[in-house]
Amino acid sequence: MSFSVYLPVAGNAVNVFLLFGLGGIVGFLSGLFGVGGGFLMTPLLMMIGIPGTIAAASDSNQIVAASASGTIAHARAGSVDFKMGGLLLAGGLLGGSLGVVLIKLLRRAGEANFVISATYVVMLGGIGGYMFVESLQGLRKSRGGGDAREGDLRPSPFARLVESLPLKVRFGRSNVTFSVLVPLFFGVVVGALAAVMGVGGGFIMVPVMVYLLRMPMHVVVGTSLFQILATCINVTILQSAVNHTVDVVLVLVLLLGSVIGAQLGARASRKLRADQLKILMSIIVLAVMVKMLLGLLLRPDVLVSYEGGH
């Protein structure tokens, strides 16, 4: 009995249950943490024999389904800040274009590969490590009887700078007030980084919203999903029109798993406390960082790869 399905654009056959399971796990993480999961899914798809360009493009189409499913679950619970999400998104689109130009310049200088790998490892290590330590302290504090809410305001130089910016707006859902320039700025930075690293950027955006924009964790997850949804719609249409790299058969099997996973993840997300969510997320980010680092340090099995993959 063969349980494989042939993927016409990828030009290969893959086990249906394997794809379904992958979709389910990554969808669960997506609903739980508000990340797209591309940083996990794309390398996993490549491992099972799907060319890199097709894995990345099809994954963004799959994320459309999972994040639509997650967004609606969070919107129903009132945990999507559309105003904040819209501003981050606008910045993200601009930043994405900047990132593409940046890569071109790096390629010309011949340093692109190193810069991309180094950025990835440093970003993941920094974000994961900080989240881990911070949420561990939060957990200890709450065990000690103190209320460890995000938003313990410490007037840092950063906070004073944010305070001095014009165009202040109140973001009701997130319960914060600051200049519209702040989310726009972070949108640009994360968009540029995401373009350089070739990922959606959810796992950078989530910590930015938690630590720099001081949004409550549950609103962060919903808002991040909303923003990822919009980004991935854009990427899917562009990839289909320009590169013809979206495989809908692959997408259909993946999304059958991921939409269900995303719903379960969104439920689990409401049951867990903010610090617990953050510590789980930091462990995943650190694990991806270790995997990337090993990929750089260990001798690969085959010393050549087709152009187009990573």
Residue found by looking up tokens 């969808």 in the block: 27
- For the bound state, the minimum distance from the C-beta of residue 233 to another protein, rounded and expressed in Å, comes to 5
Binding of residue 53 to another protein (CB under 8 A): no
| Closest to 199 measured CA to CA, from 294, 59, 27 | 59
| Greatest CA separation for the chain | 67
Q: Does 1 bind another protein (CB under 8 A)?
A: yes
Q: Name the residue nearer to another protein (CB basis): 55 or 65.
A: 65
> Strand 4-7 and strand 12-15: pairing?
antiparallel
| Helix 217-242, helix 274-297: angle, nearest 10 | 40
String marking each residue 76-105 x if it binds another protein according to CB under 8 A: x-----------------------------
Identified binder of another protein from the candidate list 134, 150, 247, 275, rule CB under 8 A = 247
Binding of another protein by 217 (CB under 8 A)? no
Segment lying near another protein (by CB under 8 A), choices 129-137, 191-199, 273-281, 302-310: 302-310
Q: How far is the CB of 161 from another protein (least distance, A)?
A: 37
Query: On the CB side of 168, how many CA atoms lie within 13 Å of its CA?
Result: 9
CB 299 → another protein: shortest distance, Å?
6
**Closest approach of another protein to the CB of residue 152, in Å:** 32
Nearer to another protein, 166 or 306 (CB): 306
Q: Report the 10 Å Cβ neighbour count for 179.
A: 17
Contacts of 216 (CB under 8 A, 6+ apart): 150, 151, 174, 175, 274
Q: How far is it, in rounded angstroms, from Cα 183 to Cα 244?
A: 33
User: Which is it for strands 176-179 and 168-171: parallel, antiparallel or unpaired?
Assistant: antiparallel
- Binding residues for another protein, per CB under 8 A? 1-6, 8-9, 11-13, 16, 49, 61-62, 64-73, 76, 113-114, 117, 233, 236-242, 244, 246-249, 251-253, 255-256, 259-260, 262-263, 267, 295-307, 309
